[in-house]
Structures are given as structure tokens and as C-alpha cells.
Amino acid sequence: MPISARAAVSRTVGQAPVIEPVTLSDPQPDEVLVEICAVGICHTDMVMRDGHLPVPFPVVLGHEGSGIVRATGSEVDDLAPGDAVVLSFMSCGHCPSCDHDQPAYCHSWAPLNFFGSRADGTTSLCDASGQSVHSHIFGQSSFATHALVNRRNAVRVDPDLPLELLGPLGCGIQTGAGAVLNSCRVRAGSNVAVIGAGAVGLSAIMAARIAGASRVVALDINDARIALALELGASHGFHSASGTLLDHARAADCPAGFDYIFDTTGLADLVNQAILALAPLGELALVGAYPFGSRVIADAAHLMSAGRVVRGVVEGSADPQSFIPLLIDHYRQGRFPFDRLVEFFEFEDIEGAIAAGESGRVVKPIVRMP
């Protein structure tokens, strides 16, 4: 029996989604039906909306959903109706990266997360006129009251937690924290810079504190975000236009440069500055959404001669099934107060939620389902 739902459908590149009635097909054997409780808005939703990723339209975006399992496919034996789940990205489970517990670098990442369908090419959504609508963005398409997701994509969480808060753990927050704790494994006592104090950058800053970093330098162009970074654990905050990153390193008493730099802006100019501000053995993590064709300019001798590293980071190199529970544990212990980033909106006001994020007023808008 098809399931009736409502979804915010994006029909035109660059335009806000519009809420419409839709129907979902029954779960496939390895899928679960999730009634969405709330969904965070990530900057990557805007990148997809604007046509900068290979996402087909019409489509339901949304990839930071949380909700309750309502039905399970015939092969699902580890989730049951009533379970509270956080939805994350999709991975195949059988490529070399998945075999090495690195699902964020799944060899089928793009088709499983961006191509708007299941691995077999089918979509789960139809609009009121019976036309199919692309689904399964990040394996979930959760700007909707309901989503069909693969069981790999759903992480069971404790029912005592405020479920409406938890969806962003599935992407932006996991990405920033994981870049620090998994991708780079920041050492205690090291000096860290985070460029861009949005949801991803602020999560990286909180994680750098957990890792025991010495100096944690936040850079942004939004003064309120710099102030929030200082409250959440940054030791220094600078307006990034007030000097080069090397100037800021010196001002933060890191004359050799930074041991770790996390770029969350996606701006190639800042990446090039960052390479010059790496201390010997320093690592630069590229975390932002860089437009295809962005060029990194690095002096090969500068990298080679002091063992400097530049690495790409997807989803904080996380295995969501273990990393999301770990972040929840840090949150419970008061070490990871990601609730400070969020503001809630009603589903009917999804356009207002998107605008609040894009204007920089709200770090992490979360849309609650009725």
C-alpha cells in the first residue's frame, strides 16, 4: 500500500522547495519507513538546490533527518517499529572503503547520495499527478513527513534524547567533529585553526577542545559567529579579512604556523593561504564544498620539505553507526553542546528556515514536522 506523506519538493534549480502531497512506495527488503520528526538544513542542501552537484530535479532534498521507524522491510532484523533513529549518508557496504570501515569514501558515494534514486535506479516518491519525484538524496530525502531509507542509513539512538535536536548529527555536525577526531586525529597540545565558524566549523572547534588542542583559532567574517566560537571553546577569534592566516597564526602565538587547519568555507583563496600557514608536519583538511574546478596552489617544496599534508574530508571520515553515538555521549557529558547552534522552525516555514541559515543569522536551522 503506498504511504501518503507531504514533502518539500524542489522543482526548479535555484528556487525554494514547495510543500506538496506525495506518496511513498512500500519499503524494499533492506529499507525502513521513517516518520520524520525534524530535519536540519545543511549548506550542502543549498549547493544541491543551486545545481552545483549532480542532483536531478524534481527532487526532495534534506539529509539531516531524525524520526521514528514505522515499518521495516523483510530483511531488516536490527531495527523495529518504534525505534528512534538519526539518518546519515548512504554507502554500499561492500567496496574497498566500506570494507575498511570508511563508508564516507564509498566507491559509490555519488550515485548513492546525489543521483536521486536507490542503487537500482528506482525512486520511492510520486507526486499527486503520479509523476515520479527523485528521492534518496543522501539515502534519505528528509524534507518530508516520511522517508524510506536503507537500514545502513539509520542509526538507532536512545529514546530519552530530544529526537528533534539530533538530525544534524547525521551530516554537518558529524563532519566538523569527525574531521578533527577521525580524519586528522588532532593531537593534544597542538595548535588548530578553523576557517568558517558555521555548523561544521563550530563542531570542529568543540571537537578540538575534546581532543585537548592547545590553541584553537576561529576565523569568520560574521562577528556573532566568532563570538559564539569563543564561547564554545576557541581560544582566539579573528575576522578573516583582517590579515592573512599566517598573520593570525602569529597573533595567536603560533609563529611556526598551525599543526591542523580545517577549511569549511570552500573558498580556494583561503585554502591557498592555509597551505602557507601550516607548521612542519601540519595538516590541512579540505572540508567545504569546493566548486568543481577549484584549484589549490601549493609549492611542492613547501609541502615536501616539512612533511605537510593536504587532505579531503567527507562526512568527518565517520562511520555513523559508531560515531553518532559517540557524539551523543560527548553531548550528554557537556563536552559537545551542539544544541547551542540550533533554532527550530515549523515545516510550513521551511523557506524561512533556509533564509535564516543563508543570511548567517542562524547557524543550524532545524525544521520540525507537524
Q: Which residues bind Zn ion (CB under 5 A)?
A: 42, 44, 171
Q: Which residue is nearest to Zn ion (CB)?
A: 42
Residues 194/220, Cβ–Cβ less than 8 Å: no
The binder of 271, among ligand NAD, Zn ion, none, by C-beta within 5 to 8 A per type, is: none
**What contacts 191, CB < 8 A, 6 or more positions away?**
213, 214, 215, 217, 249, 252, 254, 258, 259, 260, 279
Q: Which one, 201 or 320, has the nearer CB to ligand NAD?
A: 201
Q: Which three cell numbers, joined as nine digits, stand for 179? A: 574531521
* Residue 146 or 152 having the CB closest to ligand NAD: 152
222 binds ligand NAD (CB under 6 A): yes
User: Min. distance of Cβ 114 from ligand NAD in angstroms?
Assistant: 12
Candidates 266, 282, 320, 365: give the one binding ligand NAD (CB under 6 A): 266
The nearer residue to ligand NAD, 28 or 294, going by C-beta atoms, is 294
| Secondary structure in 3-state letters for 111-139 | HHHHCCCCCCCCCCEEECCCCEEECCHHH
Provide the pairing of β-strand 146-150 with 236-239: unpaired
Residue 236 to residue 191: CA distance in whole angstroms: 11
Residues between 289 and 348 that touch ligand NAD (CB under 6 A): 289, 313-315
- Site mask, ligand NAD, residues 163-182, x = CB under 6 A? --------xx--x-------
Q: Which does 264 bind (CB under 5 to 8 A by kind): Zn ion, ligand NAD, none?
A: ligand NAD
* Complex with ligand NAD: residue 47 or 276, whichever CB lies closer: 47
- Closest C-alpha among 258, 275, 270, 279 to residue 311: 275
Q: What angle do CA 220, 271, 170 make, to 5 degrees?
A: 65
Q: Would you give the distance in Å from CA 108 to the centre of its chain?
A: 18
Of 124 and 182, the one with the shorter C-beta distance to ligand NAD is 182
Residue labelled with grid coordinates 609549492:
299
Contact indicator for 273, 174 with CB cutoff of 8 Å = no
To the nearest whole angstrom, how small is the minimum distance from the Cβ of residue 41 to Zn ion? 9
Q: Out of 10, 113, 124, 264, which residue is the one contacting ligand NAD (CB under 6 A)?
A: 264
Q: Which of 29, 51, 337, 360 binds ligand NAD (CB under 6 A)?
A: 360
60 interacts with ligand NAD by CB under 6 A: no
CB 335, min distance to ligand NAD, A? 20
Dihedrals phi, psi of 308, to nearest 5 degrees: -75, 150
* Secondary structure class of 144 (helix, strand, coil): strand
Per-residue binder mask for ligand NAD (CB under 6 A), 40-59, x = binder: --xxx--x------------
- Name the minimum Å distance from CB 210 to ligand NAD: 18
CB nearer to ligand NAD: pick between 171 and 278: 171
If one asks whether residue 193 binds ligand NAD (CB under 6 A), the answer comes out as no
Q: How far is the CB of 264 from ligand NAD (least distance, A)?
A: 4
Task: Give the list of residues 6+ apart from residue 208 with CB closer than 8 angstroms, or none.
Answer: 180, 186, 192, 194, 216, 233, 260
Q: How far is the CB of 51 from ligand NAD (least distance, A)?
A: 14
Distance in Å, CB of 218 to ligand NAD, minimum: 9
Whether omega for the bond prior to residue 168 falls within 30 degrees of 0, making it cis, is: no
CB of 346 to Zn ion, least distance (A): 21
AA letter at 243: G
Residue by residue, DSSP assigns 277-308 as: TEEEEEEEEE-S-PPTT------HHHHHHTT-
Q: How far is the CB of 57 from ligand NAD (least distance, A)?
A: 19
Nearest to 125 by CA among 58, 39, 72: 58
- State the residues that interact with ligand NAD by CB under 6 A: 42-44, 47, 171-172, 175, 195-201, 219-222, 225, 240, 264-267, 270, 287-289, 313-315, 360, 363
